[in-house]
Amino acid sequence: MTHSDAPTTEFAWTALGGNPDLLPRLSTVVRSGALEARLPVRELARACVGACALAAAELGARRAGLADLPEARVDDGAVATAFLSERHLLVDGRAPVTFAPLSRFWRTADGWVRTHANYPHHRARLLGALGLPDGASVEAVAGCLAERSAVEVEDAVYAAGGLAVALRTPEEWAWHEQGAAVAGQPLVERGALGSAVPRRLPPLAGDPLSPAAGLRVLDLTRVIAGPVATRTLALLGADVLRVDPPELPELADQHTDTGFGKRSATLDLTAGRHDRQVFEELLASADVVVTGYRPGALDRFGLSAEALAERRPGIVVGQLSAWGAYGPWSGRRGFDSLVQVATGIAALEGDGEKPGALPAQALDHGTGYLLAAGVLRAVTEGLDEGGTRFVRPALARTAAWLTAGDAAGRGGATTAASRSGTTTAAASGSSEGSYSDSGSAEASYGDPTPWLAEADSALGRLRYALPPVSFAGGPGDWSRPPGPWGADSPRWV
């Protein structure tokens, strides 16, 4: 990892295979006070959203027959609000609970461990691994963990199918076999399989604001990062159908936050032929499949990139994971909060006595926008080159990108002076020019109200964060609010 890998839109755009000559088409509104942290969270968030906006503008211009790329814009205020969307959400005035009581830091005999037990089955596995009854209190769990080492807890809970990660410093993660495997990978793995003919998409009649119009997206993701990606594709005009197993309902508020623009259905791919047949019919006319389960977990259903290249040549496959599809932890479950703990982020953001956390679940949100951008770029590339294309980001790789400046110089890239940012006006007409993410701040961020909206839905009156992806003056909002989880028919519009 080098200092040049530190979070910038240029680095993200290049990692996605984007033409650097298009970067001057992106303008930035920098706001002090947005996503403040010791690490360059604001810069990472800005870069991920900026790359997504460029990818959307690129595909929109191509399909609309425009000679020049529409001007894209990234505003730190919109980005910061969107990266906290699950906290800004109100349902009939009620704020959601983002973490369950047993999802937290715990002191161990030799350090700290963080657990994730938001889902009932994860809570049950955690308590089972600790030898505690189902109704065990926070105090009982704390007493049990205080007697064990952090790594011992990590191993025992993961062996039971639960989620717990020992706190590590950046140096400890760098020496860890999984940390070394992650550091050796590109920011986003991407490539092509097979020799499918280039895809054809109908033109957009001069309007670039719906670059994903006509695309059918099968959304097999959960929690935040994957649903943020597909929520973004829905914003851009795609027909997004989320499909979940009926026995694993999504947390209600989480579904509400990330369900904008989509439909939600359930299918049991393991129990009977009917649901499997329905799924195969959906897949037969899908343009994009996005998965967010552990690498290999869906291979038995023929959903590996290689199998999809044979069954549905020319499809775009987005595969999101926590730890990456490589290294000894590739098969482990993971969430943003746990990746922060393993990779040294929690140690860097702590106060020396207790570990800390980023001001937002930035690994989730940032990786979600990288995934959406990767899918859009894959569609654009497929128009010329054909082939089945895959895109594979990982939360742990995004974490490595966030900490790159710290690794290069122990905060040399994260001081207030070097993080102040700039506004770079988009070039007009020509794509020639220079691009920079750094300079002087123009405004401040405090009140998120300008980037919040309200709407009625089947779930109640919603207050929610507006989308931060903007180009050619839009798109301003999703076409539909979320509905109840699993309530839609498993079919395309």
CA count, 13 A, side-chain hemisphere, 465: 24
Low-confidence ranges of the chain (pLDDT < 70): 1-4, 405-441
Query: What ranges make up the beta strands (E) of 123-176?
Result: 164-166
Element spanning 216, H or E: strand 216-220
CB 36 within 8 A of CB 356: no
CA count, 13 A, side-chain hemisphere, 477: 13
Q: What pLDDT sits at residue 4?
A: 59
Kindly compute the dihedral angle of the four CA atoms of residues 198, 202, 207, 208, in this order, to the nearest 10 degrees: -30
Residues 279 and 402: their CA atoms lie apart, in Å, by 38
**Claim: this prediction has a pTM higher than 0.75:** yes
CB 468 within 8 A of CB 49: yes
Q: What pLDDT sits at residue 416?
A: 31
Query: Residue with structure tokens 């702590």?
Result: 350
Q: What is the end-to-end Cα distance of the chain in Å, rounded?
A: 45
Q: What pLDDT sits at residue 332?
A: 93
What is the length of the chain? 493
Q: What pLDDT sits at residue 210?
A: 96
Q: What pLDDT sits at residue 97?
A: 81
> What Rg value do the Cα atoms of the chain yield, rounded?
22
Residues 331 and 329: their CA atoms lie apart, in Å, by 5
Residues 7 and 358: their CA atoms lie apart, in Å, by 15
CB 133 within 8 A of CB 127: yes
- Starting at the edge strand found earlier in the chain, the sheet holding 90-91 runs 90-91, 460-465, 452-457
Q: What pLDDT sits at residue 198?
A: 86
And the tokens for 341?
Answer: 């703990």
Q: How much is the mean pLDDT over the chain?
A: 90
Residues 255 and 251: their CA atoms lie apart, in Å, by 6
Residues 226 and 371: their CA atoms lie apart, in Å, by 8
Which amino acid would we find at residue 244?
D
DSSP state of 302: T
Q: Which of 437, 435, 472 is nearest to 71 (CA)?
A: 472
31-32/443-444 β-pairing: parallel
- Listed in sequence order, the DSSP H helices in 160-272 are 170-175, 177-183, 225-235, 252-258
